[in-house]
Amino acid sequence: MPNPNFLYLLAPGLAVILLLQVPAFLILLARLLPGIRRPAPLKPALSQPEDLAQVTIVVPTLNEVLRLGPCLAGLSRQGYEVREILVVDSHSQDGTDALVKAAQAKDPRIRLKHDPPLPADWVGRPWALHNGYLFSSPDSEWILGIDADIRPQTGLVASLVQTARAENLDVIGLSPRFILKYPGEWWLQPALLMTLIYRFGAAAKVETQPERALTNGQCLLIRRSLLTQLNGYTCAQQSFCDDVSLVRACVAVGAKVAFRDGKNLIQVRMYEGLGETWQEWGRSLDLKDATPRGQLWGDLWFLTAVQGLPLIMSLMGLGLKMGGVEWLTLDILLALNLGLLAMRWGMVAAVSGSYLPGPGQGLLWLSPLADTLAVWRIIQSSMQQPKSWRGRSYQSF
């Protein structure tokens, strides 16, 4: 039996934790249950005559020559709905220009552009996208932003345009199929991804609340007329999560925005190894640049309650039970946290199709053991403003 003085101090603390976790658990259920009826993953589509030359693709780059090759190869396989493929390069020093010019010789739709020097009040990625919009043909109905690390599958653009037209959408983003290689990635990356799924749940068919809008800027189709209405990407010019800032501005002006499962259409190899995943992806997932301060603090409480604490509280609860402690509060707390862990392993099964099979994939099932670290990374990132990103240094805005 633990020391009575320790138990005397512990009891009210457990009661407070229970009071914090119960409402968060109910919110989590409300967010995840609609996922049972979420839209099916989009599939590749064949080009349609009415979509001829309707899309300008913009690929922002900065020293990403090793990633860009597969991206351009996949874009060259897209159909005749693509009018032009603009690689907007921020004066890379790694051979990007030569790679793009070689690709252009095989596909004349590919064109190399360089954005002007980065203004002091812009982040690099939205600046490149903004200039891509300015460079784009006014005859294109759609602008498709594609990151250099995306590997597009044949039929991607046709599927996006046809889905947008059929559902009268103004913006549509896709979640990818992730390519992981190293054990640390398989363990940590799914835990970081889960922080997004827990906060935003199953994406609505069409999002109508700006503060709930979420997307993936790695592959984002948007009407050119809507970008014109928003003055390009200026609404996201100081945002390190510019994709979310942009779509929330779109929803705020009444645009129809959707976020769909694109695992059949795009693959992505984002970061190399555990350290880079922790550093680079971990600091962009807090979404603080697109989130009011009150909502951000609410998100941190929520993630701590339903993802950060369950493993710790389950182990503590089991230890106390084995030590002979019999409290109703402890029983409820233990049951709640074991239930949260069971849900979390269920979510592993639910997202497993979003990963390309590969060596080390069994560690995906151990990713719930990284949840406390993942939540800590979100908290840590929420308290800091990036000083550098993709090789650029930034002053505080």
In tens, the pLDDT along 123-158 reads 999 999 999 999 999 999 999 999 999 999 999 999
Asked if residue 56 has pLDDT above 80, the reply is: yes
What is the rounded average pLDDT for all residues in the chain? Answer: 93
Of 178, 186, 232, nearest to 353 (Cα)?
178
Asked if residue 3 has pLDDT above 90, the reply is: no
In tens, the pLDDT along 191-234 reads 999 999 999 987 666 778 888 899 999 999 999 999 999 999 99
Asked if residue 397 has pLDDT above 90, the reply is: no
CA dist list (Å): 192 to 134, 188, 300, 368: 34, 6, 13, 10
C-alpha count within 13 angstroms, C-beta hemisphere, residue 370: 26
Higher-pLDDT residue of 9 and 300 is 300
Residue showing tokens 């010789």: 105
Asked if residue 2 has pLDDT above 70, the reply is: no
pLDDT at 396: 61
How many angstroms separate the CA atoms of 208 and 138, rounded? 28
Residue 77 three-state SS: coil
Asked if residue 101 has pLDDT above 90, the reply is: yes
CA dist list (Å): 29 to 15, 199, 213, 292, 295: 21, 11, 19, 24, 19
In tens, the pLDDT along 163-185 reads 999 999 999 999 999 999 999 99
pLDDT at 371: 98
Q: Which domains does the chain have, with CATH numbers?
A: 1-37+182-200+292-383 (no CATH), 49-176+216-272 (3.90.550.10)
What pTM, to 2 d.p., does this model score? 0.93
How many angstroms separate the CA atoms of 256 and 209, rounded? 11
pLDDT at 4: 67
pLDDT at 346: 96
User: What whole-number percentage of the chain has pLDDT above 70?
Assistant: 96
